[in-house]
Amino acid sequence: MRIAVFMGGTSSEKEISLKSGEAVLESLQKQGYDAYGVILDERNQVSAFVDNDYDLAYLVLHGGNGENGKIQAVVLDILGKKYTGSGVLASAITMDKDKTKQIAQSVGIKTPKSYRTVEEIERFPVIIKPVDEGSSKGLFLCNNKEEAEEAVKKLAKPIIEDYIIGEELTVGVLNGEALGVLKIIPQADVLYDYDSKYAKGGSVHEFPAKIENKSYKEAMKIAEKIHSEFGMKGISRSDFILSEGELYFLEVNSSPGMTKTSLIPDLATLKGYSFDDIVRITVETFLE
Active-site annotation holder among 132, 133, 251, 266: 251
The residues that bridge with 247 in the sheet, in sequence order, are: 242
Residue 26 among the catalytic residues: no
Residue 228 among the catalytic residues: no
Active-site annotation holder among 67, 161, 162, 239: 239
Residue 115 among the catalytic residues: no
Question: For the purposes of burial, counting CB atoms within 10 Å of the CB of 204, is it exposed (0-12), middle (13-18) or buried (19 or more)?
Answer: exposed
Q: Could you tell me which residues come within 8 angstroms of residue 248 by beta carbon, excluding any fewer than 6 positions away?
A: 110, 111, 112, 164, 166, 240, 241, 242
What's the rounded Cα separation, in Å, for the pair 28 and 2?
11
Question: By C-alpha distance, which of 163, 140, 162, 161 is closest to 151?
Answer: 140
Phi, psi of 207 (to 5 degrees): -145, 125
80: alpha, beta or left? (left if phi > 0; alpha if psi -120 to 50):
left
Phi, psi of 223 (to 5 degrees): -60, -40
Residue 149 among the catalytic residues: no
Active-site annotation holder among 65, 91, 135, 215: 135
Cα angle value 206/208/209 (rounded, 5°): 60
Residue 36 among the catalytic residues: no
Residue 143 among the catalytic residues: no
Active-site annotation holder among 180, 257, 262, 266: 257
Residue 212 among the catalytic residues: no
Beta strands 82-83; 56-60: pairing state: parallel
Active-site annotation holder among 68, 253, 254, 255: 253
Residue 13 among the catalytic residues: yes
Q: Are 125 and 163 in contact (CB under 8 A)?
A: yes
What's the rounded Cα separation, in Å, for the pair 8 and 15?
7
Active-site annotation holder among 8, 9, 11, 13: 13
Active-site annotation holder among 83, 163, 198, 248: 198
Active-site annotation holder among 58, 237, 238, 254: 237
Instruction: Give the catalytic positions in this structure.
Output: 13, 135, 198, 237, 239, 251, 253, 257
